[in-house]
Amino acid sequence: MKSIGYVDVTPEGYNGSMKNSIAQQLDEIARKINEGWLDSTAFWGGAGVVITDVEPSPSEPGFYPDPAVVVTPNAGELSWLFVLLRDVSIALDDYGVWKQEFFGRLAAAAQSVPSDTDVKLLLLQVIRQAYEMLGMIEIGMQPAEFSMIILHPRRLGRGVNSFDRGELTTFYASRGIVLS
């Protein structure tokens, strides 16, 4: 899929040496997506999350838990957003410790969006969850202070807002972004 208004948002290309806060980076990504900037990439598989456009076959029980699976017709675009959010967050302290919690929450946010919802709203719902967790990390909270690592929200839905277009509109309006 061809990019619309492509801007490199990787820390090196977009935010030279992380000069902007996480919230500012997320605002910029959300603003551009709201204006129609979309791209697509190979389907995401990592940090305990798989994004696909078809239901997976049941797997045999094994030692490791199955990943959270997000099935959406917008799997390429959602995977692209996961890559962007990985690039925004990877330089934060202890990324390796909390990345499964982070991407699990993003997956739970994506799963809350009905499959017939516009792709832009799907992506903005996921970014909304990123604001919450990355904001807590950026101000110095440890993952154990806002979530016990053993409790996976992608399994329980704990601490992840359900999709509500009105609430999403209000949230972004508070950030100075009027959803179109």
In the beta sheet, which residues pair with residue 69? Answer: 50
pTM: 0.82
Buried-state track 127-144, b at ≥16 Cβ within 10 A, e below 16 = bbbbbebbebbeeeeebe
DSSP SS3 for 122: helix
Q: What is the pLDDT of residues 100-130, one digit of tens each?
A: 989 999 999 999 999 999 999 999 999 999 9
Q: Which is more confidently placed, 64 or 84?
A: 84
* pLDDT, position 143: 56
149 vs 143: CA distance, rounded Å? 7
The mean pLDDT of 1-21, rounded to a whole number, is 49
Sequence-distant (6+) residues with CB within 8 A of 23 are: 131, 135, 138
Are the beta carbons of 133 and 90 closer than 8 angstroms?
Answer: no
85 vs 89: CA distance, rounded Å? 6
Highest mean pLDDT among 67-81, 95-109, 142-156: 67-81
* pLDDT, position 8: 52
Q: What is the pLDDT of residues 65-76, one digit of tens each?
A: 889 999 999 999
Residue 8 main-chain phi, psi, to 5 deg: -75, 110
Q: Is 40 exposed, middle or buried (0-12, 13-18, 19+ CB in 10 A)?
A: middle
66 vs 112: CA distance, rounded Å? 19
